[in-house]
């Protein structure tokens, strides 16, 4: 009787475990499937390679270097391009090899190579408005020598956000990683049990539990306003560095604890100093675990939005400085937030979400590969 009751209870418990696992996997599949269904159609070459805002540029092109004729419809012989009428605009449909447009110069005499899908809005004094492709071909072929074009390069791409995200990642890790690793070394190798160590661990635990929006508020008040950094990638990087310290410290410390004490004893027994033992023996042995901690931290940086909205800003531009008006930038997640909140552009937001999902999955796979390789080296298999 008791055995039957025990088997019944075990069956119920096992059923609950299987049900919980199935629900978890199901939720994950639903989330990923929903994001892919909504956002994947918007992920294309232009989305991944263009700037977010359209760019209008005046360029000068030397038409003396003609590439020859072509049987294609609406082919501009003097420029070596094929044009087309698209939604009322004259666009570059195709560019032949050695076309003069590849050597175009902007008004500052800086090379500005034209690309397919660029919109030609004006040629010299002729505005391409309510004009057919055939008429545009005649205008572009008129005369010889240089021609000045007004060209608009369509936006809608995530290049500024990707570059800004990379900048934020590099800045944050450059600040947080050395501090976090050194703090973990102190806690595991130097600190003695007592009140001081308890206070430090209590502080680290509380730092890990603070909501990210509070970090954002702190960063805005301290870095943006008091230190006059304005909305900038440096202010965002400093704020995220503080956020990541508990993760890096805790993960690195656990990795250091896994290094066998015989390594330390053997090194000290051979006459090495404490610092030499740490730098030559302990850290190389713990390096895979430290790398995993850093990779997981990158995932946290990529997914953070609340702290960056108040410190780095939401401007879709490539930052050209660390502080100031030219240093404000939107990462992938902050741009997603802005698209949903300000313009209700769910299609673009979900397309960005697809890119974020791909990055997070890639980072998780990378951490698992490093962990497996580390365990394989430890076991010798």
Note down pLDDT in tens along the chain; length 381 residues.
Answer: 667 777 777 788 888 888 888 999 999 899 889 989 999 999 998 898 888 989 999 999 988 655 566 667 889 988 989 999 988 899 999 998 888 898 899 999 999 999 988 999 999 989 998 889 999 999 998 877 889 999 999 888 999 999 999 999 999 999 999 999 999 999 998 888 888 888 888 888 888 889 999 999 999 999 999 999 999 999 999 999 999 999 899 989 998 988 888 888 888 888 888 889 998 889 988 888 888 888 888 888 998 888 999 999 888 899 989 988 888 899 999 999 888 888 888 888 999 999 998 888 888 788 778 777 766 665 555
- The CATH number of the domain where 347 resides is what? 1.10.3720.10
Q: Whole-angstrom Cα distance, residue 108 to residue 105?
A: 7
Pair 206, 355 in one domain: yes
Pair 188, 337 in one domain: yes
Tell me how far CA of residue 338 lies from CA of 102, 330, 332, in angstroms. Answer: 36, 9, 10
Pair 142, 163 in one domain: no
- The CATH number of the domain where 74 resides is what? 2.30.42.10
Q: Whole-angstrom Cα distance, residue 302 to residue 309?
A: 13
Nearest Cα neighbor of 234 from 326, 297, 160 is: 326
Pair 166, 201 in one domain: yes
Pair 83, 203 in one domain: no
Pair 190, 106 in one domain: no
On whether residue 45 sits in a domain, the answer given is: no
Q: Which domain holds residue 178?
A: 159-379
Q: Of 95, 128, 153, which marks where a domain is finished?
A: 153
On whether residue 366 sits in a domain, the answer given is: yes
Helix pair angle (212-219, 233-257), 10° resolution: 130
End-to-end CA distance of the chain: 47
Pair 201, 345 in one domain: yes
Joined tokens for residue 197: 């160590």
On whether residue 15 sits in a domain, the answer given is: no
Q: Whole-angstrom Cα distance, residue 198 to residue 184?
A: 14
Q: What's the domain count of the chain?
A: 2
Pair 105, 235 in one domain: no
On whether residue 268 sits in a domain, the answer given is: yes
Asked if residue 347 lies in contact with residue 40, where contact means CB atoms within 8 angstroms, the answer is: no
Pair 222, 95 in one domain: no
Q: Whole-angstrom Cα distance, residue 168 to residue 319?
A: 10
Q: Whole-angstrom Cα distance, residue 334 to residue 242?
A: 19
**DSSP per position, 35-54:** HHHHHGGG-SHHHHHS-SS-
Q: In this structure, what DSSP letter does residue 145 have?
A: S
The pTM score is: 0.84
Tell me how far CA of residue 186 lies from CA of 71, 144, 191, 197, 358, in angstroms. Answer: 74, 74, 6, 10, 36
């Amino acid at each position: 009787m008791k055995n039957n009751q025990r088997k019944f209870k075990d069956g119920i418990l096992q059923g609950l475990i299987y049900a919980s696992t199935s629900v978890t996997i199901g939720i994950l599949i639903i989330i990923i499937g929903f994001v892919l269904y909504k956002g994947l159609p918007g992920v294309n070459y232009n989305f991944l390679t263009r700037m977010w805002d359209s760019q209008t540029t005046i360029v000068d092109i030397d038409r003396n270097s003609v590439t020859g004729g072509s049987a294609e419809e609406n082919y501009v012989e003097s420029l070596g391009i094929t044009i087309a009428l698209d939604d009322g605009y004259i666009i570059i449909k195709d560019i032949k090899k050695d076309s003069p447009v590849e050597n175009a110069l902007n008004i500052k005499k800086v090379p500005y190579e034209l690309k397919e899908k660029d919109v030609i809005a004006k040629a010299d004094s002729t505005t391409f408005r309510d004009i057919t492709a055939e008429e545009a071909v005649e205008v572009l072929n008129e005369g010889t020598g240089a021609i000045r074009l007004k060209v608009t390069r369509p936006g809608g791409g995530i290049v500024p956000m990707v570059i800004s995200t990379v900048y934020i990642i590099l800045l944050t890790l450059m600040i947080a990683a050395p501090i976090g690793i050194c703090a973990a070394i102190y806690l595991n190798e130097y600190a003695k049990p007592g009140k001081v160590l308890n206070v430090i661990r209590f502080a680290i635990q509380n730092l890990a539990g603070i909501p990210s929006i509070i970090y954002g508020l702190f960063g805005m008040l301290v870095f943006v306003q008091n230190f006059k950094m304005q909305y900038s990638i440096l202010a965002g990087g400093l704020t995220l560095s503080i956020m990541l310290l508990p993760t890096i410290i805790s993960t690195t410390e656990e990795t250091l604890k896994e290094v066998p004490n015989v390594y330390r004893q053997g090194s000290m027994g051979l006459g090495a100093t404490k610092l030499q033992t740490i730098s030559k023996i302990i850290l190389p042995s713990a390096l895979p675990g430290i790398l995993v901690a850093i990779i997981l931290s990158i995932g946290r940086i990529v997914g953070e939005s609340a702290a960056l909205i108040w410190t780095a800003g939401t401007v879709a531009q490539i930052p050209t400085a660390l502080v100031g008006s030219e240093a404000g930038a939107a990462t992938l997640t902050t741009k997603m937030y802005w698209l949903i909140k300000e313009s209700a552009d769910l299609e673009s937001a979900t397309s960005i979400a697809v890119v974020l999902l791909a990055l997070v999955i890639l980072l998780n796979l990378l951490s698992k590969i490093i962990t497996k390789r580390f365990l394989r080296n430890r076991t010798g298999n």
